[in-house]
Amino acid sequence: MVLKKGILNLEVVIAVYFYVWYGRGLGSRHWNDSCVNVVVDKPIWGYYSSIDYEIIEKQIKLIKEANIDVLFISWWGPGSYEDEVAKRVFEIIRKYGIRASIMIEPYLGLDPSLYNESFWIKILKYISRNYIQPYNDVYFKLEGKPLILAFNPIGQLYNPEKDFNAYTFRIVGNGIDEGGYQDWDLWPDYLVNVKYVDQWRYIVKNRCLIRIIAIYSWNEYHERSAIEPHFDVSIPNPSYFYEITKNYISKVKHFEQD
């Protein structure tokens, strides 16, 4: 979970990282389809396809019920599977009053030099035409401008902020994980439930100083960080993390003490 501090804020934006890369059934896209895409937990809807309208609708309904405001959508470039799914997500969130931003993943590779000014010119043109303009009413804006997130190594050598001031940029993934990995994770050696609740208690205590809460994640099953209801190999209640999240969001939104 990532916090953005401010000064005496009465409104807090609750965001969640949202992954749209799953295919249908075990052994398909990101459901144990390779040694690096291992999953041990199972969503309550089974090993679903992210592109399925019915699944997206179910996810967004639960997200709305939890009072989450914004999705940070993991996106793997123009024409990708995730690109197609993301457009469907933007269509559906309109009905629920939820907003979203694109988080660009390093789909060209891990060489930071690939993500130069030329890359950003092309990619911002595409995102603007396909997401910001057609979905301007639900595209999330930070500091009055459309928010574009990017995962490392994007941004390590070239910072787009100085050349593209029509957007707000945030580079995520560096210096976050206390476990020493590049990604955020909740592997079994972590005290996941205690750590998660402790962070929410801190948020409730310091609520007036926080502008944005970004929850990692709705459904990143490889790293076992999902709050989406699922059958967890280590926790009997499928809605355990979802209910914790929903409860603490309510406390934050209504100025309740823990």
CATH classification code of 2-253 = 3.20.20.80
Q: Which residues contact 235 (CB under 8 A, 6 or more apart)?
A: 193, 241
Q: Which of 13, 76, 50 is nearest to 228 (CA)?
A: 50
Residue 141 φ/ψ, nearest 5 degrees: -120, 135
* pLDDT per residue as tens digits for the range 214-250: 999 999 999 999 999 999 988 999 999 999 999 999 9
pLDDT at residue 174, rounded to an integer: 54
pLDDT digits (tens, 9 = 90+) for 131-152: 999 999 999 999 999 999 999 8
The residue extents of the domains of the chain are 2-253
For the stretch 156-181, pLDDT in tens is 899 999 999 999 999 887 544 444 43
- Ranges assigned E (strand) in the chain: 2-5, 13-18, 42-43, 70-75, 99-104, 141-142, 145-151, 168-172, 210-215, 230-231
Its pTM stands at 0.90
CB proximity list for 188: less than 8 A, separation 6 or greater = 224, 234
pLDDT value for 172: 84
Answer yes or no: is pLDDT of 110 > 50: yes
Share the mean pLDDT of the chain. Answer: 90
Q: Which residues contact 18 (CB under 8 A, 6 or more apart)?
A: 59, 71, 72, 73, 74, 89, 100, 217, 218, 219
The stretch 39-54 carries a mean pLDDT of 98
Helix (H) or strand (E) holding 206: none
Q: Is the pLDDT of residue 73 over 50?
A: yes
pLDDT computed for residue 194 by the predictor: 58
Is 10 a residue whose pLDDT tops 80?
Answer: no
Q: How far apart are CA 88 and CA 100, in angstroms?
A: 12
As a whole-number percent, the residues of the chain with pLDDT over 90 amount to 81
How far, in Å, are 51, 53, 203 from residue 2 at the CA level?
27, 29, 10
Segment (H or E) for 94? none
From CA 246, how far away is CA 61, in angstroms rounded? 13
Report the alpha-carbon distance of residue 15 to residue 57 in Å, rounded. 18
pLDDT at 190: 44
Mean pLDDT of the 67-93 span: 99
